[in-house]
Amino acid sequence: MKQFYQQTKDQALTKLLVDPKIGLTTEQVQQNRQLYGRNQLPEKKKDPYWKIFLRSFKEPIIIVLLGAVILSFLSSIYAFRTQNNPQHGLEALYEAIVILILIIINAFLGFWQEISAQKNLDALREMNNRIATVYRNKEWQTIATKDIVVSDLLKVKLGDFVEADVRWIQADELQVIESHLTGEADAIAKNSATINQEAELGDRFNMGYSGSTVANGQGIGLVVGIGENTELGNISRLIDSVEEKVSPLQKTINKLTKTLMKVSAGIVILTFIIGILRAGELSINSITSVLSTSIALAVASIPDALPAVLSIVLTIGASKMAQNKGLIKSLDSVETLGSTSYICSDKTGTLTQNEMTATKFYDGEETFNVSGLGYAPTGKIESTTGSTAKTSIFLKGAVLCNEATIKEENGKFLPFGNPTEIALTVLGQKAGLTKEALLKNNQLIRTLPFTSDRKMMSVVIKNDTGYWLYTKGAPDVLLRNSQNILLNGKTVATQNAEAEFMKIVDSFANEALRTLAVGFRQLTENQARKETVEKLETDLTIVGVAGIIDPPRPEVKQSVKTLNEANIEVVMITGDHANTARAIAYDLGIVKTKDAKVVNGLEIEKMTDDELFKTVPTTNIYARVSPEHKQRIIKQLQHHQQVVAMTGDGVNDAPALRVADIGIAMGINGTEVTKDSADLILLDDKFTTIEKSVKSGRTIYANIKNFMRHELTTNIAEVLALLLGLLLFSKTIGQVPAGTPTLTALMVLWVNMVSDALPSFALGYDVAEADIMKEDPRDPNESVLANHTWSRVLIRGTIMGAMVYLSFWWAANIGMSSSEAQTVAFLTLVFGQLWHVFDARSSHSLFRRNPFGNRNLVLAVLFAGITSILVTILPFFNLVMGTANLPAWIYLLVIFVPALPTFILSGLKEIFGITIW
Ligand code: ATP
């Protein structure tokens, strides 16, 4: 049987039952989906829920606690059986049960965090699904690539991935890269001719394969294989779902947690030895009593929640960012966004609306003004001397050399295609000229699609008078490829007419208009059919230029201002004309003067790296830039230690996006290849989304920092309170015997899992501090604990720890029992934390933020405060946790006195501007 590449186009279409005029019908799509399935490769299997649940039992802290449970059980059995002490036996049993319950709650919390982090990531991936264009029910439609079915007619253009295996039935200068299958890195030209003999994969010029990228031109292919039944499916039966990169912050925190674990293990062993030595004997009794303090210490000193909370805060941050239309592809970008110091942005579509209207044109004789904005073909065309529009070669070229269409639906005019070309189509219609009508007398032979490297687009046509090339593109580029210019109605040699022609172009550009010239030339049949693009687009006669308005997006001006206040430089890098770029940059506040410096692509070309290095700090506009220039600009900015975010929409921008610290692609107008290499996708193509994403990046980082500060402060306070007790409480005071630990193990566990974990967690969701976009970008090499975070943690942790021990000692001195004194210490610690958490949320001080700004935090604090008091009142908890009822006035003391250090330190800071605490 003949393979698809050996069949003619028509045979292939007939075999797969497709009428190319209609495309697939809805029923055919459903039938084929049932027959062949979805266009997806099977994903790697995810861990089942039970495995994820059990994973949290592998954490060191949980292992320590499980050890404690077993010891408590043993101790209980020992008390019941050997010592005949049911009271102690019951206590130990309850302790074991409560620790077990807390472990299970903790496991559920970890499980929930992991599942929601995963769900968030999955949702982000789903949003990042690729799309494709297919012809169905007589219409071109955009669908998710997984919905492509066999027999679909798939359209691809420069920058797309070929999303299925296809037999090409139309190819315009089509070239694709198939290196993933053949190892051949160069682009291969494709056509739709039949191959009559057997051919290797790499030689099947009429076939396209899933996973290839379109490097030039455009084409339409008949889908012959999808999903697993493609050549790509043959070589990779399994693909990993998007990799989960560990962010530098996660690495730092994992490392920090490990170091702290080692330190705590040392402290625990030391405490155990000291305790045993003090007890003077090695018995089950002495071991269980010393172990209790050791376990408390172990629990106190391990910031166990850090890594889990970090990953959920990052993923939730990423989801929030996506709701604001900034889709990040890996979590480490959140961090990088926070330290971005340079944003290099395209102009068209990002800073401007990408809704273009031709408002002026020069047709080689006169300049015309065009009225009427939008896509309706109504508007007056009037020359500056008062004459009305006439059919010129310029207008004919502008309409023919064009792939855009306007469709009227219920009185509305809907544009399809490239905005620049849409503007010219509308202009043609205003002058009574349509491509359809022109094609009646002109046959379209070839289309040479637009590339931003060439900055031109051409068509070859045939009519009664022979073969003709029409080219439209950037005026300066056309000038370089021209011989003559039509000026004041006469054809003049380019060198004599150039200056006057450029005057007209500059006058358009100075009004912030995008300029586009049209040229033509006659061709021989051989040239028309076979000549390369480079050779065709030369020897032109320029016949006019259009001025197209693309209004700036209104919200960008404010974004630029905000970013400048945040000490982030905004740079415009555009393919457009220098004057157009400058006029718009001035309008948006990117530059402050009307004659600001603009560096042109040609100038960059001539510069050495050293020269460019010196140029970049003082340049905010680059014009007529090609994608390769972008890479050079980024690298030089990076040599200035800048963290650079760069936008790009075309396929050739992909390498620049990879070089940038944050590569940004356009979700709507960007090509699939560019999106693939980006770190951030702007789902709405708007510049303001970059600003919002940077703000989110900064906020998430600040929240993580605050959360860590709070966690570590508490850990230090707990460890210190216990250690001070161990070292200093060597003599019996009142009713409290020597060696009584400051806090019981279960109190510490409670603090860690309830009164500390919940408010800390809420810190991760905090809103941005008011001045977050007024600060300088963070140095990316700076540690998360830099800028006095360590000193704040140490000073506050030490004071809080000392206070907890002192409260215990004071309670013993006024004659309280052991459990009462421990309860005083417990509540002092709990409320110390609950006050401190409001300070931890600010990089300045407690007084600078509205304490009710984070509702989650207020609720968490109220919950933690109330339940912590309840466990000192309810008899069951008294028995299990070793807490006791306290007189009312002591409750008041333990709630409010712990607020003092926080208020005093914050106050001193405000008055004297001290930063170390
Ligand atoms: P930016 O890089 O800011 O998005 P841009 O969209 O203007 O800017 P390009 O798309 O590279 O950059 O366009 C550069 C120039 O090429 C334009 O100024 C215009 O003169 C010309 N041009 C743009 N689109 C077309 C097109 N479809 N056909 C022919 N020439 C075009």
- Mean local confidence (pLDDT), 23-49: 86
- Given the residues 152, 160, 346, 550, the one annotated as active site: 346
Topology of domain 357-549, per CATH? Calcium-transporting ATPase, cytoplasmic domain N (3.40.1110)
CB of 360 sitting under 6 A from ligand 1: no
Q: Select the more confidently predicted residue: 500 or 216.
A: 500
Q: Closest Cα to residue 780, out of 638, 616, 614, 680?
A: 638
Share of the chain above pLDDT 70, in %: 96
Q: How far is the CA of 475 from the centre of ligand 1 (A)?
A: 11
Instruction: Give 335's pLDDT tier (boundaries 50, 70, 90).
Output: confident
Least confidently predicted of 20-24, 298-302, 343-347, 388-392: 298-302
Q: Which atom of ligand 1 is nearest to the CA of 347?
A: 3
Distance 512 CA to ligand 1 centre (A): 14
3 state SS of 607: coil
Render pLDDT for 856-884 as a digit per residue (tens, 0 to 9): 899 999 999 999 999 999 998 898 888 99
Can you tell me the distance from the alpha carbon of 219 to that of 313, in angstroms, rounded to the nearest whole number?
44
Percent of the chain with pLDDT over 90: 45
CA of 392 to the centre of ligand 1 (A): 23
Pocket of ligand 1 contains residue 636 by CB under 6 Å: no
User: Is there an atom of ligand 1 within 6 Å of 347 CB?
Assistant: yes
Query: For residue range 753-795, what is the model confidence (pLDDT) as tens digits?
Result: 788 888 888 887 788 888 889 988 988 777 777 777 888 899 9
Instruction: Label residue 242 by pLDDT band (50, 70, 90).
Output: very low
Instruction: Point out which residues pair with 388 in neighbouring strands.
Output: 382
Atom of ligand 1 nearest to the CA of 515: 20
Distance 455 CA to ligand 1 centre (A): 6
Cβ pair 698, 780 in contact under 8 A: no
pLDDT digits (tens, 9 = 90+) for 484-500: 999 999 999 999 999 99
Long-range contacts of 354-357 (CB under 8 A, 24+ apart): 354/419, 354/550, 354/669, 354/685, 355/419, 355/550, 355/551, 356/419, 356/420, 356/422, 356/423, 356/514, 356/548, 356/549, 356/550, 357/423, 357/426, 357/548, 357/549
Nearest CA to ligand 1 atom 31: 473
Burial profile 635-674: b = 16 or more Cβ within 10 angstroms, e = fewer: bbbbeeebbbbbbbbbbbbbbbbbbbbbbbbbbebbbbbb
Higher pLDDT, 632 or 52: 632
Return the CATH class of domain 50-118+246-325+693-912: mainly alpha
Please report, for the chain, the start and end positions of each structural domain, with discontinuous segments joined by +: 50-118+246-325+693-912, 331-352+554-685, 357-549
DSSP alpha helix (H) spans, 280-382: 284-301, 306-323, 332-338
* Residue 825 Rama label (left phi>0; alpha psi -120 to 50; beta): alpha
Does the beta carbon of 455 lie inside 6 Å of ligand 1?
Answer: yes
- 348 Cβ closer than 6 Å to some ligand 1 atom: yes
Output 216 or 805, whichever has higher pLDDT: 805
Ligand 1 pocket check for 421: Cβ under 6 Å: yes
Identify the weakest region by mean pLDDT among 20-34, 77-91, 303-317: 303-317
Judged against a pLDDT cut of 60, whether residue 904 lies above it is answered with yes
* CB of residue 231 inside a 6 A radius of ligand 1: no
Cite the beta strand spans of 563-720 per DSSP E.
569-573, 599-600, 621-623, 644-648, 662-666, 680-682
| 346 tagged catalytic | yes
For residue 245, pLDDT over 70 is answered with: no
User: What's the half-sphere exposure (Cβ side, CA atoms, 13 Å) at 56?
Assistant: 23
Of the candidates 398, 363, 401, the one whose C-alpha atom is nearest the C-alpha of residue 382 is 363
pLDDT band for position 241 (50/70/90)? Answer: very low
* 238 has pLDDT over 70: no
Per-residue pLDDT, 812: 95
pLDDT confidence tier of residue 840, bands split at 50, 70 and 90: confident
Closest CA to 422 of 546, 320, 316, 300: 546
User: What is the Rg, in whole angstroms, of the alpha carbon atoms belonging to the chain?
Assistant: 36
331-352+554-685 CATH, one of 2.102.10.10, 3.40.50.1000, 3.30.10.20, 2.60.120.380: 3.40.50.1000
